Amino acid sequence: EAGVVQSPRYKIIEKKQPVAFWCNPISGHNTLYWYLQNLGQGPELLIRYENEEAVDDSQLPKDRFSAERLKGVDSTLKIQPAELGDSAVYLCASSLVDSARFFGPGTRLTVL
Amino acid sequence: AQSVAQPEDQVNVAEGNPLTVKCTYSVSGNPYLFWYVQYPNRGLQFLLKYITGDNLVKGSYGFEAEFNKSQTSFHLKKPSALVSDSALYFCAVSPGNYGGSQGNLIFGKGTKLSVKP
């Protein structure tokens, strides 16, 4: 069974540029999460989807971050414009209802 | 405030010796507790979870964890460490009754485990 797929794996951009990350969850997983992991820290939730509905986006900085999961399957997380402090690893995870989360390999973003 | 503490930034163990990675938590209700492992340049992998029942939970790769409600701890253990166990270990907790997909999972800062031959 394929795991959670994320692309790109690495991204280097200059500040003020836009950037987008893509995630394809495990087939059949209705819940999808985006996490932010700073160096030396544990992941922090940005947004959680149940199917196509964002049910928890309280930690998403909405002035520059946006996300979508239009058909309730894959998802895109966007930052526009990127700031230096956005340099981090962006993790996507998925799960069934009441099951453990399965994480993708992450996208490492470097903002110069 | 709900939180997870991993008091050790790094744990060093000789191969073949037992290992313990510590975790304490502070959440309301009856928590759901998890351990994840992260290898370099890879995503977090689920090791084990405690929901209810037996306080000793067995997981992947020979790891186990013991839930201690009075000490609010959920330490990760393995009887005999392998060099390949060297990785970053994260403890995570979800508030009671939302331990599955519905609740916010709060992660500790992680503990780097180094197993030497």
* Residue A101 confidence (pLDDT): 87
Does the pLDDT of residue B103 top 80, yes or no? no
Arithmetic mean of pLDDT, A79-98: 92
User: Mind telling me how many Å the CA of A81 is from chain B's nearest CA?
Assistant: 26
Cα separation, B64 vs B44, in Å, equals: 17
**Superfamily of structural domain B3-116:** Immunoglobulins (2.60.40.10)
The reply to whether B92 touches chain A by the CB within 8 Å rule is yes
Per the model's pLDDT, the better-predicted residue between B100 and A39 turns out to be: A39
pLDDT range class, residue B75, cuts 50, 70, 90 = very high
pLDDT range class, residue B15, cuts 50, 70, 90 = very high
The residues spanned by each domain of chain B are 3-116
pLDDT range class, residue A57, cuts 50, 70, 90 = very high
User: Mind telling me how many Å the CA of A100 is from chain B's nearest CA?
Assistant: 6
Strand partners, A47: A34
Poorest-confidence range of A62-71, A77-86, B63-72, B90-99? B90-99
* Residue A71 confidence (pLDDT): 87
**What residues of A are in contact with residue B98 (Cβ under 8 Å)?**
none
Cα separation, A80 vs A7, in Å, equals: 18
The reply to whether B49 touches chain A by the CB within 8 Å rule is yes
Retrieve residue B65's tokens: 């964890």
Give A26-53 pLDDT, tens digit per residue.
999 999 999 999 988 999 999 999 999 9
Give A66-84 pLDDT, tens digit per residue.
999 988 899 999 999 999 9
Does the pLDDT of residue B29 top 60, yes or no? yes
The reply to whether A40 touches chain B by the CB within 8 Å rule is yes
The residues spanned by each domain of chain A are 5-102
User: Mind telling me how many Å the CA of A45 is from chain B's nearest CA?
Assistant: 7
- What does chain B come to in residues? 117
Using CB atoms, which residue from A31, A44, A102 is nearest to B46?
A102
Class at the top of the CATH hierarchy for domain A5-102: mainly beta
**What residues of A are in contact with residue B104 (Cβ under 8 Å)?**
45, 48, 56
The reply to whether A1 touches chain B by the CB within 8 Å rule is no
* Residue A70 confidence (pLDDT): 85
Does the pLDDT of residue B99 top 70, yes or no? no
Please indicate whether, in this complex, the C-beta atoms of B109 and A41 are within 8 angstroms of each other. yes
Q: Which residues contact A77 (CB under 8 A, 6 or more apart)?
A: A20, A21, A23, A34, A46, A47, A65, A66, A67, A90, A92
Please indicate whether, in this complex, the C-beta atoms of A98 and B110 are within 8 angstroms of each other. no
